[in-house]
Structure 1
Amino acid sequence: MRLTASGGTALLGGRPLDAEVEESEGLPTEVSHALRQWAWVAGQVADAGEESSAREVPLEDAEAIAHRGQQLAALVAAVRGESVEYVDPISGDALPIGPDQWQDDDEEPTPWATGLTAAGFVALVMLGLDLALTGALRTAYGWIWIPANVLVGIGLAPTILLLSRLRFWRWISYGTTVGLTLAWLGLITTTL
């Protein structure tokens, strides 16, 4: 299976990528869409290189197109479960890419040491702050500390949920959740 682009069109197995090819090759819609975008950009860059007086594509553009094409070829290989021959639309160089070469750029190693340290520190800070707030409210107003704690939890919930989806900040959200939970458990046990 060959993957290349020509004239702004992605070619898979020598055929233009259309709904029929997409279906016969079993490509997900997102992959087909990414291939079409890549081919369009490659076509635009190649056309601009032909129109310039130097008749040459800038090296940065050629490298970016080659890199993205190789990523997509690896993705197609992973989806299909077989090797794909990637042919660079700018240079014409061919490169075999296997299904095991797909690597999501968003995947990075989990920073366990940094994350657990940050989560532990935030948990201790939240535990101390919640206990201090609750102690002050309990001393001054009695049972008002219960709805105040509920409001603190409800107020922080959306932020904690949003932060839990971000790489480093998820550790902060975990620490906040653990700190508040420990504070509430401690308050409940001392109250009963």
Structure 2
Amino acid sequence: MELRVQGGRAVLAGDDDAGVREVDPHTLPLGAGLAEALHEWAKVAEAVLRTDPPPDGAAGALVTRRGRQLAGRVAADMGAPVAYTDPVTGEQYVVEAPVNGAAAPEPAPDAAPAESSEPAEPTPWGTGLTVSVFCAAVVAVMVVTLSLGLGETGWWLALLANVLVVGGISPSVWLARTVPVWRWVAYGVVAGVLLAWFALLLTLL
């Protein structure tokens, strides 16, 4: 069985008597929410590929990591190995099915698990919120400045620029929202865009 991305949708391909057949994850007995998670990941992967990022970029790395995690969950639910074709790099990995109910390992060669009895580190609210506030201020100023500058030519041009900017950064922000460090930047970017739009709305009143 192989996990692929085609046309912004996740498909699972396998061999049968008729040859290679691709099926929608919704038609398989997968765990709750897994099929939706697969399609959500595929949509983000397709959006990242359309922006033509470098293969080693942050967004591409997040797509790769998430895909491996989902392939492990599929292997656990199906009880069979799952091949995972990375939509960013084109490389293929094989995730073995777990043994005796154990969690499926993530096939990352450079991510050896480290056993530790130390408690999890507390959330760095002070530092994290500081980063978020700084990012929000920078993004808000940039969006407002760009919009007002283009607005002198035409408000439709400013609106188009906002749509393009937000559409371009959305995949990276969506993926970064669960990464321990980058999530603070993602929060700041979202807050900055919303603040900028609120400020621009006030200028129209």
Q: TM-score, normalised by structure 1?
A: 0.46
Greater gyration radius: 1
Larger helix share, 1 or 2: 1
The TM-score with structure 2 as length reference comes to: 0.43
